[in-house]
Structure 1
Amino acid sequence: MSEAKPLTGPVRKTGPGWTAGLTVPREHPFFFDHPLDHLPGSLTICGLLDLAESVTGRPGGAERLVLDLRFPAMGTLAGPVELGLAPEPGVPGQWSLLAQQADADICAGTLRRVAGLARPAAAPHPGDTRDALCPKDLVHRVDEDNIVLGVPADAGAEVTAPALLARPGHYLDSGEPAFSARGLIESSRQFFTVLEHWAAGWSYGTTVLWTAFHADLPASPPSPAYSFRWVREPVKRTKLAVSFDLLDAGGVVAGRFEYVAITVSAAAYERFRAARDRFSGEAAA
């Protein structure tokens, strides 16, 4: 698998903030696990995290990472993407994030680093548990090396699933037998994908667009094991807005994730994508 190389080009000081181009590695075995006709949202998020860390440094062990992101438009593969980072005036530790393509905002929001409690000593990891992977179709993955979620369980009142460590050498591998913030974010995305089917009842061919994402989790996750827990509540058929807990090895709430996504018809999606492709092509010409 691919090493975790930065997803940004040269970082430039621009006014009160910093900008960099997003690298789009079309042959990347994680971000482009299967053919896509759009820019993966996970690639945009990881690129923004790379830009933030290049400017602010890697987070400390006791810090929490809080992300609030919106996806006003879908990114395409037709033109360059510019990433931006700037400090928020009067809010220490908070930064504004922006990803633009052809003068359209495709991702915007904030990142905060919040001081937390001192990290407890990490217990030894229980070992390789990757022999119990979530089925590939439930998380929309082709290569099982890209699955970082265990087999989900539906107990009626709640749905749960364990987060898994990526294989050594994978893009999400932290280089240590420990979880990373990026790895848990991807595990949460895969758990949300399960909920698209199990909670909203969306079929595997449903066209889904992200509209919002929130995460509050340890910046350097200390627990040897994590899992997700969604307590059942009514959901809409065409819009899925869910929040679920991140639990540590002791079952204590260690974080929170929120996702909002909508469904669109295949025809509406094609019209939207064609318009974005045309706009990106004109801007790049």
Structure 2
Amino acid sequence: MSTHTVNPARDTARSRISKISTDDSHTFFFDHPLDHIPGMLVVDTALRQAEDMAARTGRGAAEPLRVRALDLAFNGLCERSSDAFVHLAEGVPGGRALTVDVRQDGTSVCSGSLRLEPAPRRELFTEEPQEEPRGESRPARAPAELVHKRSEDNVLIGPLTRTGEHAYTTVMLGPPAHRWPDVHPATVLVEAIRQTATATSHTAWDIPTDWQYILMAIRLSLSDTRTWPTAPELLCRVSPLKGRARGGIDIDVLVRGAQVGHMHLEARAVPPAAYRRMRKAQSSEEATR
């Protein structure tokens, strides 16, 4: 689960260093076995520690906080073979804009920034999905293999609908409130958008579903901190792929037709054999250090 160990000696009013803790039984982060720490766990650690840091300094204890912006570049895979730490630092004293640097074995594997703002409530939208009554059908979901999930329960979007030559849309299917109470709501949104981008890339670019995706960057911005009255629609636009190895996807976040946010995602798709060679080379490099 997404719990974290904080070293008090490295925790100050303006900065914090937190260890990323992993739990293979956590179905949100580990739907299937992974040979690295997933990007969503890195995102969640940063978001949760930023909130806690604000609360400890008295600026967030009395009010919910929401993410206004998140900008992260993934410089390499975060390995499971050694500890990884999220370094947070305030950009301006007393502010909620923070720099993020995830370091492992002295190397930065992820860096960027995030910004928090006060909000009426922490949740993104008020419509709480409920467990389907016995005997009733479940809401339609995208195929699990298209979003790189093993369990259908972990699919957070509906089926894709093509709306233009390079445009697809779907709707976010948030989980019941009790399913992942320890996961930050913004992390769930980022994962839903990641699933949308992944499904669209397989659909629009005909990338085989067994190819491994390596996350390279995410840039999320939300236009305000109002709580949305319903689950958002996710509108995905793709540009023609430059080769089969790399591409960028833009996703608009819409609520009742009005845009409330946007995310740009960059990833690299790697065939299974090439991914195995890459991981073997990285393991050999680590062994010689």
TM-score category of the 2 structures, normalised to the smaller one: 0.7 to 0.9
Which residue of 2 is the match for residue 214 of structure 1? Answer: 219
In the superposition, relative to structure 1, how do residues 89 and 268 fare at CA in structure 2: closer, same or farther (>3 Å)? farther
Q: Residues 133-282 of structure 1: matches in 2 within 5 Å? A: 133-157=141-165, 158-171=167-180, 180-217=185-222, 221-236=227-242, 237-248=244-255, 250-278=256-284
Determine the C-alpha separation between the residues in 1 that align with 2:75 and 2:82: 17
Which residue of 2 is the match for residue 110 of structure 1? Answer: 113
Determine the C-alpha separation between the residues in 2 that align with 1:124 and 1:47: 25
Which residue of 1 is the match for residue 4 of structure 2? Answer: 8
In the superposition, relative to structure 1, how do residues 27 and 277 fare at CA in structure 2: closer, same or farther (>3 Å)? farther
Determine the C-alpha separation between the residues in 2 that align with 1:84 and 1:212: 18
Point out 4+ residue stretches in structure 1 off by more than 6 angstroms. 115-119, 126-129
Match of 1:41 among 18, 39, 42: 39
Q: CA deviation at 1:169?
A: 2.3
Determine the C-alpha separation between the residues in 2 that align with 1:170 and 1:69: 26
Q: CA deviation at 1:220?
A: 6.8
Which residue of 2 is the match for residue 67 of structure 1? Answer: 70
Return 5+ residue gaps in structure 1 as ranges: none
% identity of equivalent residues: 25
Determine the C-alpha separation between the residues in 1 that align with 2:227 and 2:7: 27
Q: Which has the higher contact order (CA 8 A, sep 6+)?
A: 1
Return 5+ residue gaps in structure 2 as ranges: 133-137
Q: How many residues align?
A: 272
Which residue of 2 is the match for residue 29 of structure 1? Answer: 27
Determine the C-alpha separation between the residues in 1 that align with 2:145 and 2:220: 24
Determine the C-alpha separation between the residues in 2 that align with 1:198 and 1:40: 23
Q: CA deviation at 1:92?
A: 4.0
Which residue of 1 is the match for residue 79 of structure 2? Answer: 76
Please give the TM-score of this superposition, normalised by the length of structure 2.
Answer: 0.81
Please give the TM-score of this superposition, normalised by the length of structure 1.
Answer: 0.82
Cα RMSD (Å):
3.1
